Structure 1
Amino acid sequence: MSILPNQIFLGFIRLPLLLRTFIIAITSIFIFGIIVHFIEPNTFPTVFDGIWWAIITASTVGYGDFFPVSIFGKIAGIFLILTSAGFLSSFFITLATTAVTRQNDYHEGKAIFRGKDHYIIVGWNERSKEVIGTLLKRQKSVSIALIDESLDINPLPNGNVHFIKGAANQDSVLLQANIGDAIKVIITANTNLGEMQADMNSILTLLAVKGLNPDVETIIEILTNEQMANAKRAGADEIIQTNILTSFVMHQSINSQDMVTSFLDLLYQLSEEKIILKEADMDEVDEDYTSLGMKYMQNGQTLLGIKRGEATILNPPQPFFIERNDQLIFIT
């Protein structure tokens, strides 16, 4: 017979402190409200009147619309103030403390992200800052989880960005970012490390991501040619070699500064547009590339090239005909 009360007690003490304090306070208030009703039925005609008086008394508001007049009623009021008022005050103090703690955890990257269909961006730098800004600009309701171990507080507290402090190659950190429900993970290189070390760190993060969610789409930034193959083996869906672009711009600047300026202007303009990769429709198969480009141009879209297998062909030699499974690259 003693097993059930013992189980109830053990279950009660396992509850969160906030909930336990509230249960004790509200139970005490109800008990004293019922007691005072039976002690002074004329002063407190209904049980609800007794409970109302107990709540007002325990909260130290004291409207004065109900108050005990008998000795036993006043004694009940004294015990109510000594017990329930303390528990009720403790409840509100704990509630305020919990709210402040959770707010601090959110800013300091300790809170768990509970959203779904979100982007996970690894590393806080100028590249990730631009990516986040573009995502927030194009999709007002987008959710982003930012993982970085060098930051102390959320760098974008007013945006729809959930900051998580920690190393992204650790399972606990990725689970905190709800990796299982993410739709895309973008891994940027840590330029504070050497290029080889940065690539190894990025690939280790990629392996951790794919280990927890093999289906999530991943984009990884690689700095060295030697680690390209390892990134592919690790399961990267897209690999970005930022050093190739930098080297190209620096090389071209030696020959023609005007061309580099035009090239950078073109990149800035493309950042404001949307580049689409779409598989060719059945009615577009066997169609000439030039005539197909004219059709897209009439709809305000510019056909840039074709992705055929692993090869990307820009401005293909004429005549060039679209084949099945070709993917069209165009700007809309």
Structure 2
Amino acid sequence: MFEHVYHYFLRWPLVLRILIIAVCAICISGITITLVEPETFPTIGDGLWWAIITASTVGYGDYFPITWSGRIIAVLLILMGAGFLSTYFVSLAASAVKTQNAHLEGRRHFHGKKHVIIIGWNERAKELIDHLSSLDKSTIIMLVDATLERNPYNDHHIHFVRGVPYIDETLRKANIHEADIAVITSDQNKNEIHADMSSVLTLLSIKGLNPNLYCVVEILTEQQVVNAKRAGADEVVQTNKQTSYVLLNSIISHGMSGAILTMLDNLKGSKIRLMEAKPEWYGYTFQQLNAELLEKHILLFGIKKGEDTFVNPPLHKRICENDELLILED
């Protein structure tokens, strides 16, 4: 029985074991000194008070042993108590430093909820994190990457897990089951085909652990868009295709790239989103609804009907049931 308890005790954290030993030494010494010198220490409370003060080497002097046996107990308590307490505080400090380093180096499990997971470290991920942080300081962001040595941010709202994103253990460390949304960026250290394959594999791993998690995936090649949707992507961002549109517009109309960038930059504080059409709007034309929404400082510039999206549709196009409105609002 004793051997079983002893081996179980050895499995406890070192800091907890040292604290228990120090507390036991103080309690035993306090009770023993009361029994050895009852005139000097009339109560067990007085003995425990003396033991705590002696073990901590404070030494108020309000209680002190006067017999040789009592002084021997005091010497043993000083040697043992001070040693154990010093070891305890040193171990506690070392444990705190170890925990802090593990947090910065992405080795600890994250236990937050409703967080945004961003997979991959590159310039796009950096811009995304910076914009999210500026829009809402309370947003909890989890960065997952295998190339970073430590968290590039000091903000306590931005956490970091180091590891390969398509391995389950890495995703569990990021608490994938409690996340609100996941954004998978393309790996800049791989060619386009391999980067897309890695993104799709990461998406499959995420959906396998949390099928209901909303996932946005960056895909570089046209051929992998279908595979990303098959893997369960809720949204696919085709970076290369969007960039080619900007380049094309720059060829046709000089200076367009700067204008587009300025426009997008000015939208950081606004919201472009889809809004469900209200029943009272059914039958409205695009022109009528746009005029009504403009009075509320909402700009209507598109309609989503099922899988089809119409940007700047004909003014006579009517709003129907289950339509979604593409709007811009402050």
Q: TM-score range by the shorter chain?
A: over 0.9
Q: Give yes or no for the alignment of 1:289 onto 2:286.
A: yes
**Following the alignment from structure 1 to structure 2, what is the Cα–Cα distance between the partners of residues 300 and 255?**
32
> What is the SS of the residue equivalent to 1:218?
strand
**CA offsets per residue over residues 168-217 of structure 1, 9 Å max, x none?**
11111000000010010000001221001100011111011001111110
Give the stretch that moved more between structures: 162-171 or 135-144: 135-144
Report the counterpart of residue 116 of structure 2 in structure 1: 119
> What is the SS of the residue equivalent to 2:61?
coil
Report the counterpart of residue 93 of structure 2 in structure 1: 96
TM-score, L = length of structure 2: 0.96
Give the Å deviation of 1:106: 1.1
Give the Å deviation of 1:104: 0.7
Q: Give yes or no for the alignment of 1:260 onto 2:257.
A: yes
Q: How many residues end up aligned between the 2 structures? A: 329
**Following the alignment from structure 2 to structure 1, what is the Cα–Cα distance between the partners of residues 102 and 11?**
23
**CA offsets per residue over residues 35-71 of structure 1, 9 Å max, x none?**
1112112222221221111112112222222211111
Contact in 1 for aligned 2:303/2:323 (Cα 8 Å): yes
Report the counterpart of residue 272 of structure 1 in structure 2: 269
Give the stretch that moved more between structures: 127-136 or 222-231: 127-136
**Following the alignment from structure 2 to structure 1, what is the Cα–Cα distance between the partners of residues 260 and 177?**
39
Which of these residues, 301, 312, 316, is aligned with residue 315 of structure 1? 312
Report the counterpart of residue 235 of structure 1 in structure 2: 232
Q: Give yes or no for the alignment of 1:162 onto 2:159.
A: yes
Q: Structure 2: which 5+ residue stretches go unaligned?
A: none
Letter of the structure 1 residue corresponding to residue 183 of structure 2: I
Question: What do you get for the CA RMSD once the two structures are aligned?
Answer: 1.3
**Following the alignment from structure 2 to structure 1, what is the Cα–Cα distance between the partners of residues 294 and 40?**
86
Letter of the structure 1 residue corresponding to residue 326 of structure 2: I
**Following the alignment from structure 1 to structure 2, what is the Cα–Cα distance between the partners of residues 203 and 184?**
16
**Following the alignment from structure 1 to structure 2, what is the Cα–Cα distance between the partners of residues 177 and 20?**
30
The 5-angstrom pairing of residues 204-243 of structure 1 reads: 204-243=201-240
**Following the alignment from structure 2 to structure 1, what is the Cα–Cα distance between the partners of residues 169 and 256?**
48
Which of these residues, 169, 172, 176, is aligned with residue 179 of structure 1? 176
**Following the alignment from structure 1 to structure 2, what is the Cα–Cα distance between the partners of residues 159 and 290?**
47
Letter of the structure 1 residue corresponding to residue 303 of structure 2: I
**Following the alignment from structure 1 to structure 2, what is the Cα–Cα distance between the partners of residues 317 and 218?**
32
> What is the SS of the residue equivalent to 1:151?
coil
Give the Å deviation of 1:34: 0.9
**CA offsets per residue over residues 119-169 of structure 1, 9 Å max, x none?**
110011111112111221222211111011111111012341111111111
**CA offsets per residue over residues 205-232 of structure 1, 9 Å max, x none?**
1011001111110000000000000000
> What is the SS of the residue equivalent to 1:257?
coil
**Following the alignment from structure 1 to structure 2, what is the Cα–Cα distance between the partners of residues 6 and 52?**
33
Which of these residues, 317, 326, 330, is aligned with residue 329 of structure 1? 326
Give the stretch that moved more between structures: 34-43 or 205-214: 34-43
**Following the alignment from structure 1 to structure 2, what is the Cα–Cα distance between the partners of residues 24 and 232?**
59
Which of these residues, 16, 19, 22, is aligned with residue 22 of structure 1? 19
**CA offsets per residue over residues 285-310 of structure 1, 9 Å max, x none?**
22211111111111111112111111
Report the counterpart of residue 79 of structure 1 in structure 2: 76
**Following the alignment from structure 2 to structure 1, what is the Cα–Cα distance between the partners of residues 176 and 209?**
7
**CA offsets per residue over residues 268-287 of structure 1, 9 Å max, x none?**
22223111211111111222
**Following the alignment from structure 2 to structure 1, what is the Cα–Cα distance between the partners of residues 265 and 296?**
23
Which of these residues, 58, 61, 66, is aligned with residue 61 of structure 1? 58
Give the Å deviation of 1:264: 2.3
**% identical aligned pairs:** 46
TM-score, L = length of structure 1: 0.95
**Following the alignment from structure 2 to structure 1, what is the Cα–Cα distance between the partners of residues 222 and 39?**
90
Runs of 4+ aligned structure 1 residues displaced above 4 Å come to none
> What is the SS of the residue equivalent to 1:111?
coil
**Following the alignment from structure 1 to structure 2, what is the Cα–Cα distance between the partners of residues 87 and 263?**
67
Letter of the structure 2 residue corresponding to residue 54 of structure 1: A
**CA offsets per residue over residues 54-102 of structure 1, 9 Å max, x none?**
1121122222222111111101112212322222221111101100000
